[in-house]
Amino acid sequence: MKSLLMHSPIAIAMLWIGSYLAITLLPLLVLLLYPPNESRGFWTEFSVALGFIGLAMMALQFVITARINRIEASYGVDILLQFHRYISLVAFGLILIHPALLFINQPETLQLLNVFEAPWRARAAVAGTLALIVLVVTSIWRQPLNIPYEPWRILHGVLAVTALALGLAHALGVSYYLSLFWKELLWSAIAIIALLLLAYVRLVKPWFMAKKLYLVEEVVPQRGDVWTLVLRPQGHEGMPFEPGQFAWITLNISPFRMREHPFSMSSSGDRGDRLEFSIKALGDFTRQIKDVEPGTKAYLDGPYGVFTTERYFDTAGFVLIAGGIGITPMMSMLTTAAERQDDRPFLLIYASKTWEDVTFRDELDTLTEKIDLKIVHVLRKPPEDWQGETGYIDRDLLNRYIPIHRGSRQYFICAAPVVMDQVELALHELNVPVTNIHMEHFNLV
């Protein structure tokens, strides 16, 4: 029983959370156990504690964004990246509060802002803080500032390394709190691990990707301005995945270029030798998919994601709620179920703008002949003779179709963020257990 508990998904997820908190607070704990010889006052000590916690959080950001499979499998990449965004702002706030408290409590420290006369450790702090400010500003307002993704990603990595290195240099330069050799060693080890993880993401992982080449076999047009990119592995077995997962695709350039894009697989999870990615033409990259020639080289990093029916083998059935291109992971789930002759019931509630925008319309009709699948189409702009559901997926519509015993199914939602929020709230109001609701977010970059 104990062994089973330790290997359960919840136990493993809690273990990672505990590890994060322990590493974040470790430097502060060390200071409490082995404080300096004399105190500098409460507010000074408090500001220093905030600075150390913020610096530790910055170092752990490299762990969160490294796409480590063991960690990602507990939460999903989308959840980790959302946490990365929010915790970055927390670390940013703590680091800014650190000098602000010092300036208020000890106004004479304001002269350290004079970088021409201040000691090098103060200059490192100022430069590191400026790098952090630029990093945060260019991340939050990347699109309004019209910064292309690839240059931004390179800039993001450079600024992150710069801010962390200068922050550590400042802490070591002050030396009052890190006077013992083993304290310096501890912080140096944290920084080195962060840099090694960056090297893993930027160098090691692309090297492994380069060893597993894929070629574009064909590009198939679909309804709704969607194009299905079909890839075949060359010289290897391909990439088995769980239906509903996604991968990062690099097309026609070296994987070291860091120009990759995340897309869900729409094909069967049992067919690693033929991978299909159905992509809607929404941006600069996605609009070019229709022009990709057969034989184009492709590289994949994956699979990733916990948005999959594979992990719920003991459930009585599934309710799939999709909007627009959110049908992609659902298609993978349904296709895999059909190939496995899964006899459990599936309910698909699929919102589209018009009847002609319904991606996979014919394929879905074919699947109803192979598995126990009921499809409810919801159109915002229906044709005049339309007899089905119209408008949006709301509480009343869900109440008409989902099972009476709400907890007997697993619910998967993939749509635009505002739609997912509305559907999630409606499911809660309909007494669907929160543990049975699973969502996939589009925005991963």
**Higher pLDDT pick, 265 / 281:** 265
Q: Which two tokens stand for residue 418?
A: 């505002």
Examine the pLDDT at 105 and tell me if it is beyond 90.
no
When pLDDT is cut at 50, 70 and 90, the band that residue 4 belongs to is very low
Label residues 171-201 b or e (16+ Cβ within 10 Å = b).
Answer: bbbbeebbeeeebeeebeebbeebeebbebb
Q: Give the span between the Cα atoms of 9 and 400, in whole angstroms.
A: 33
Query: In this predicted structure, which of 99-103, 111-115, 217-221 has the lowest mean pLDDT?
Result: 111-115
Q: Which residue has the higher pLDDT, 436 or 184?
A: 436
What mean pLDDT value characterizes the chain? 86
* Integer CA distances (angstroms), 319 to 344, 411, 422, in order: 11, 5, 16
Encoding tokens for residue 420? Answer: 């997912």
Q: Give the pLDDT confidence score for residue 363 in this predicted structure.
A: 95
- At residue 12, does pLDDT exceed 80? no
pLDDT in tens, 349-368: 999 999 999 999 999 999 99
Question: For the chain, what is the radius of gyration of the CA atoms?
Answer: 25
Q: Which residues on adjacent β-strands are paired with residue 227?
A: 221, 279
Rounded to the nearest 5 degrees, what angle is found at the Cα of 269, between the Cα atoms of 215 and 324?
Answer: 85
Residues 364-374 have a mean pLDDT of 96
CA 211 – CA 234 distance, rounded (Å): 10
Average pLDDT over residues 169-179: 72
| List of domains in the chain | 2-204 (no CATH), 210-304 (2.40.30.10), 312-440 (3.40.50.80)
pLDDT of residue 184: 66
Q: Kindly tell me if the per-residue pLDDT of 268 is higher than 50.
A: yes
- Which burial class, exposed, middle or buried, applies to 45 when counting CB atoms under 10 A from its CB (0-12, 13-18, 19+)? middle
Quick check: 293 pLDDT over 90?
yes
Q: Is the pLDDT of residue 209 over 50?
A: yes
* Confidence (pLDDT) at 174: 76
The pLDDT value given to residue 14: 79
Tokens of 18: 């505990």
Among the residue ranges 98-112, 180-194, 316-330, the one predicted with the least confidence is: 180-194
The reply to whether the predicted model has a pTM over 0.85 is: no
